[in-house]
Amino acid sequence: MQPGDGRTQLHQQYHNQLSQYKSANAALADVAWTLSELEQQIRTLDAELEREASPQLARRINDLRRWRGVLEETVLRHMYRAEEILAEVTRLRAALAQDA
């Protein structure tokens, strides 16, 4: 192994993890945006249901609430994954700084 090979490999790992972190954050933002839109739709339909009782509307709201639960879990999974990747990025950045 050449003297610079370790640093080159460390640098590559850092860039790979940084790329994964950016992708994880983008996925998190997408799911969070969808969740926000869903919340707004539920609020709108709840207000409509208060004005006019409708079994169909009530079913639709229940379906959306179930979907919201799934999305909330997805957001949490994405958040935890992004945090894990960020910890690795931070570790690699510190290793690169020490090696400099």
pLDDT string in tens for the chain (100-residue length): 455 678 899 999 999 999 999 999 999 999 999 999 999 999 999 999 999 999 999 999 999 999 999 999 999 999 999 999 999 999 999 999 997 6
Tell me how far CA of residue 17 lies from CA of 33, 49, 62, 63, 72, in angstroms: 24, 47, 39, 37, 25
- Say how far residue 23 (Cα) sits from the centre of its chain: 9
User: Considering the entire predicted model, what is its pTM?
Assistant: 0.79
Tokens of 37: 């839109």
Domain boundaries, the chain: 10-99
Tell me how far CA of residue 8 lies from CA of 2, 17, 31, 38, 97, in angstroms: 10, 14, 35, 45, 13
